Structure 1
Amino acid sequence: METLDQFSKLFVLDIRSTMGLLFWGNLALAALVFTFRFALFSKDNQKHLLVFGCSKIFQTLAWLSFFLRTDTVTFNAVNIIIPNTLIFSSYFLESIAMLMLVKSSTKKDFRGQAILFVVALLSFYYAVWVESRTNIRVSLASLIIFLLLITPALRFLTEARSSLFKKILGFNYIILLVVLIFRMFYPLFKTSTTLYSIDATQKIIFLIIFMMMMISGVGYLLLLQEEKELQIKKLLEDKDKFFSIIAHDLRGPFNGIIGLSELLLENDNELDQKESNEFIQMIHQSSKNTFSLLENLLTWAKSQTGSLEFSPVNFEISTITDKTISLLANIAKSKNISLRSEIEPNQFVVADKNMLETIFRNLITNALKFTENNGEVLLSMQREKNQVVFLIKDNGIGIAPQKLTNLFSINHKNHSLGTNDETGTGLGLMLCKDFVEKHGGEIWVTSEVGKGSEFKFSIVEGLN
């Protein structure tokens, strides 16, 4: 019993001491976040850390304001508005930092969160203006924080292919949300409850908030560190593949061009016009393949090093589909393939125009490559909620089931000759996957050998 009594003293903290803990805890987290920002993280993560760090600074100032209030009985609008505005602002910024870690987040999500924040602030200010009772304001403040955190927490838990660590962090926020729900209703049934009451339940609530705050703060940094390590691992793997392509796939076409040109030079006097034209045509085709490979290599290298900026704009989709069809018309004509688009005029999307053009060029080129003479390649699109889904369909030779799994993987070679022995490296498909993911979308394929393939990809409009 004596041991139990001693243990219970761990929780004997008055409200002001707990506020002091929250002040020092947030101050320490803010210092830690900004240390990480300036010392360890990349340009991409620095924006995340700036927002998260500012949220901790706001919360530090908020708890300091609560702690310094000496008169907690007399109604004073300024003393109520300042600390509560700081606390709401801190949780708003924290919710934005959380959404920034969710890959499918769009501008619409951030705007919605900002509107919610403004409406919540105005609601609280109205409650202060009409001099609502203290317990009502406490419940309202808990409701506001709950509403600010609920969407990011659920997105953390439901995001496709999210890591186990991200889900654990999401569950931490769920625990905090449960505490906030309790704190919403508890003051309504205990009308004497205020922020500074010495009620035992109130102390436990604050201690739980303190623990969840520390876990979420450190967890956020660890999650960013995990993502950074995954990026480094991927970059190393991509570098190896890059050098493999340069060493093997790029050397091959040049050897072909050199060999064919040497034969043409050595036997120029012995070849008739028809034979010379055949050699020139082979050199021309090999040069085009090499140029296409170089173009993809350079684009991909820019993408991996971060020098290729993602710049979404609003534009009419037919401007790039028509351009791509015109560019590839000669290839389609040489095989008598019907290449057409069913995308109607005046269909606008918000996306990176250059990246989308690269995706279409590679997917249509592949479709033409693996479609027999007199075949058909068709483009279409449809809108689904906040996404646009594009389809490139052909009636070509199809893809074997065992090749579908690793079709977009950089670590697996996908060398297959086209119907007219056209060559490729599979780099184009990997580049498509990379650009589609930058738009928050997915790319997938359904195919049946002998009946053709359907490549589909989605983009999330307004992603930035």
Structure 2
Amino acid sequence: METLNQFSKLFVLDIRNILGLLFWGNFALATLVFTFRLTDSSKDNKTHLLVFGCSKIFQSFAWLAFFLRTDTSAFNPINIIIPNTLVFASYYLESIAMLMMVKDSSKKAHRIQALLFAIVLLSFYYAVWIKAEANIRVALASLSIFLLLIIPALRFLTETRSSLFKKILGFNYIILLLTLIFRTIYSLFYTKTSLYNAGPTQNIMFLIIFLMMIISGVGYLLLLQEEKEIQIKKLLGDKDKFFSIIAHDLKAPFNGIIGLSELLLEKKDHCDNDENNEFIQLIHQSSKNTYSLLENLLTWAQSQTGSIEFSPKKLEIISVADKTINLLANIAQNKNIAIRSQIEKNEYVIADRDMLETILRNLVSNAIKFTQTNGEVLLSMTRENNQTVFSVKDNGIGISPEKSAGLFTIDQKHSTFGTNDETGTGLGLMLCKEFVKKHGGKIYVESQIGKGSDFKFSIPNSF
């Protein structure tokens, strides 16, 4: 019994000391996050760190406001609204940072959090306006924080590609959520709830919140570092595959050009004009194919290093489609393939012009490559669920389901010959995926062997 009494003294802390711990803890975490952002962050997580760091700054000032607030019996709405608004804002920003850690987190989830934040603020302000009892306000505040964190915490735990460390961080938030639920219920039944006259139960709850705050803050930085290391390993792997493409697929067409030109030089005095023209056409076509491959290689390399500027603007789609058709008209004409566009005037999309042109050029070029003589390639677009969906459809040889699954990754090598033995690496499709992803859209293919392929990609109507 004596041991139990001694142990209970661990939780006998003045509430202002606990508020001081919460202030200094959050302030130290904010300093650590912003230092990490300045010294060791990547382009991908700079915004994430900014949001999470601001959440800790807001929370530190919130606990400072609670610490400085005078505990009197007089009802002062300003003293109530300011610190609680800072607390709600901090947990809202933290929930956004959590969503940013979840792969494929949709814009809809972010909008739901923003709406929930607005509802939380209005509900609490209404409780202050009607002069609700202190225990009701405490219960409402705890429930509000619970509602702001519940969806991101569940996304953490249920994400299929979640790492073990991310799951541990998710369970940390679950403990915090359980504490908030207990505090909500406790405040409703303990009618004399007062922040500055707290018993051991209240102190324990605040200490749990402090502990969870420290774990989540440090955990975030460790998790970001882990993801950065994973990304570095992926980039190194992609680099090796990239060089293998250069070594094999860029070398081969140059060997063809050199071989044809040597043959032309050796037989120039023994060949008639028709034979010479045939050699020249082969060299010319091989040179164009090599240039196209080199262009894609350089553009893809730039996209991996982040050196391509992304400048989305309002574009008339038909101008981009017509430019693509005109650019590839000669190649299509050599195979007597008709390129038709069903895109009408006065149709607009918000996109980066250079990237959109690159996407369409690669998709149409591939369609021509894998379509037989006298075939057809069709460009079209539709509006679906606040998205503009583009389609490049052909009636060519089609793609098997096994090959369709890995078309847009560098993990598998694609060197299928076209209907006229045209060569390719599949790098153009990877480039398309990179640029579509940059716009916040998706790219996919619907295909049947012998019936053709339909490559589709979406671009959101707004960013």
Fold agreement, TM-score > 0.5 = yes
Q: Indicate the larger mover: 154-163 or 212-221.
A: 154-163
Cα displacement (A) at 1:436 = 2.5
> Which is further off, 120-129 or 446-455?
120-129
1:244 and 2:244 aligned? yes
1:63 aligned onto 2:63: yes
Range 382-391 or range 77-86, more displaced: 382-391
Mapped contact 1:106–1:462 kept (Cα < 8 A)? no
Residue 393, structure 1, aligned to residue 393, structure 2 = yes
Structure 1 residue 187: Cα displacement: 2.6
Residues 24-39 of structure 1 correspond to what in structure 2 (within 5 A)? 24-39=24-39
Larger displacement relative to structure 2 (381-390 or 249-258)? 381-390
CA–CA separation in structure 2 for the residues paired with 1:190 and 1:303: 59
Q: Return closer, same or farther for 1:433/1:30 CA change in 2, 3 Å cut-off.
A: same
1:258 is matched with 258
Cα displacement (A) at 1:236: 1.0
More divergent stretch after superposition (25-34 vs 109-118): 109-118
Q: State the Cα deviation string for residues 206-229 of structure 1 (Å, max 9, x = none).
A: 233223222221222122112211
Change (3 A) 1:400 1:122: closer
Matched, 1:434 2:434: yes
1:419 deviation in Å? 0.5
Residue 385 to residue 226, structure 1, CA distance change in 2 (3 Å): farther
**What whole-Å deviation, never above 9, does each CA across 1:402-444 have from its counterpart, x for those lacking one?**
4334322213321111000101112112212222332333333
Structure 1 residue 296 and structure 2 residue 296: aligned? yes
Corresponding residue of 2:139? 139
Deviation, structure 1 residue 77: 3.0
Matches within 5 A, 1:253-402: 253-402=253-402
Residue by residue, what CA displacement relative to the aligned partner does 1:363-399 show, whole Å, maximum 9, x if unpaired? 2211221111222333344444344443333222222
Contact 1:313 1:353 in 2 (8 A): yes
Contact 2:416 2:423 in 1 (8 A): yes
Which residue of the partner structure matches residue 49 of structure 1? Answer: 49
Distance 2:348 2:336 in 1: 31
Q: 2: CA distance between counterparts of 1:165 and 1:387?
A: 35
Identity %: 73
In structure 2, the CA distance between the partners of 1:115 and 1:401, relative to structure 1 (3 Å rule), is: closer
Given that 1:398 and 1:449 are in contact with CA atoms closer than 8 Å, whether structure 2 keeps it comes out as yes
The CA distance in 2 between the partners of 1:344 and 1:338, in whole Å, is 18
Q: How many residues align?
A: 463
Q: Residues 47 and 204 from structure 1, CA distance in 2 versus in 1: closer, same or farther, beyond 3 angstroms?
A: same
| Cα distance between partner residues in 1 of 2:154 and 2:361 | 37
Residues 95-174 of structure 1 correspond to what in structure 2 (within 5 A)? 95-102=95-102, 104=104, 113-114=113-114, 116-117=116-117, 120-157=120-157, 161-174=161-174
- Partners of 1:155 and 1:345 lie apart in 2 by 42
TM-score (ref. length: structure 1) = 0.88
Q: Which residue of 2 aligns with 1:420?
A: 420
Runs of 4+ in 1 over 6 A off after TM superposition: none
- For the residue of structure 2 that corresponds to 1:44, the secondary structure is coil
**Corresponding position: 1:443 with 2:452:** no
Work out the CA distance in 1 between the residues paired with 2:265 and 2:254: 16
Secondary structure, aligned partner of 1:414 = coil
Structure 2 vs 1, CA of residues 106 and 33 (structure 1 numbering), >3 Å: closer, same or farther?
same
For 1:258, give the aligned amino acid.
Answer: I
More off after superposition, 308-317 vs 291-300: 308-317
Q: How does 1:201-212 map to 2 (within 5 A)?
A: 201-212=201-212
Q: CA deviation at 1:87?
A: 1.7
Distance 2:168 2:390 in 1: 35
Residue range with higher mean Cα deviation, 419-428 or 110-119 = 110-119
Distance 2:334 2:197 in 1: 83
Instruction: Name the stretch that deviates more: 165-174 or 433-442.
Output: 165-174
Per the TM alignment, residue 130 of structure 1 is displaced from its structure 2 partner at its CA by: 4.3
Contact 1:442–1:459 (CA under 8 A) maintained in structure 2: yes
Check conservation: 1:72, 1:196, Cα contact below 8 A.
no
Normalising by structure 2, report the TM-score.
0.88
Q: Does 1:195 align with 2:228?
A: no
The answer to whether the 8 Å contact 2:71/2:196 transfers is no
CA distance in 1, matches of 2:177, 2:353: 41
Q: 1:230 offset after TM fit, Å?
A: 1.8
Q: For 1:283 and 1:161, how far apart are their aligned partners in 2?
A: 48
Q: Offset of 1:123 from its aligned partner?
A: 4.6
Report the counterpart of residue 407 of structure 1 in structure 2. 407
Task: Give the Å deviation of 1:232.
Answer: 0.8
| Distance apart, 1:273 and its partner CA | 2.0
Rounded Cα–Cα distance in structure 2 between residues aligned with 1:257 and 1:294: 15
Q: Give the superposed CA RMSD.
A: 2.9
- Give the structure 2 partner of residue 213 of structure 1: 213
CA separation of 1:457/1:223 partners in 2, compared to 1, >3 Å: closer, same or farther?
farther
TM superposition shift of 1:169: 3.3
Q: CA deviation at 1:274?
A: 1.3
**Comparing 299-308 with 202-211, which one deviates more in the overlay?**
202-211
User: 2:44 is paired with a residue of what secondary structure?
Assistant: helix
Q: Secondary structure at the match of 1:424?
A: coil
State the alpha-carbon separation in 2 of the partners of residues 168 and 440 from structure 1: 29
Structure 2 residue runs without a partner (length 5+): none
Task: Report 1 or 2 for greater relative contact order, CA contacts < 8 Å, sequence distance ≥ 6.
Answer: 1
Shift of 1:359: 1.8
SS of match in other structure, 1:223: helix
Q: Deviations over 1:63-102 (max 9, x none)?
A: 1221233424332233223322322232233233334334
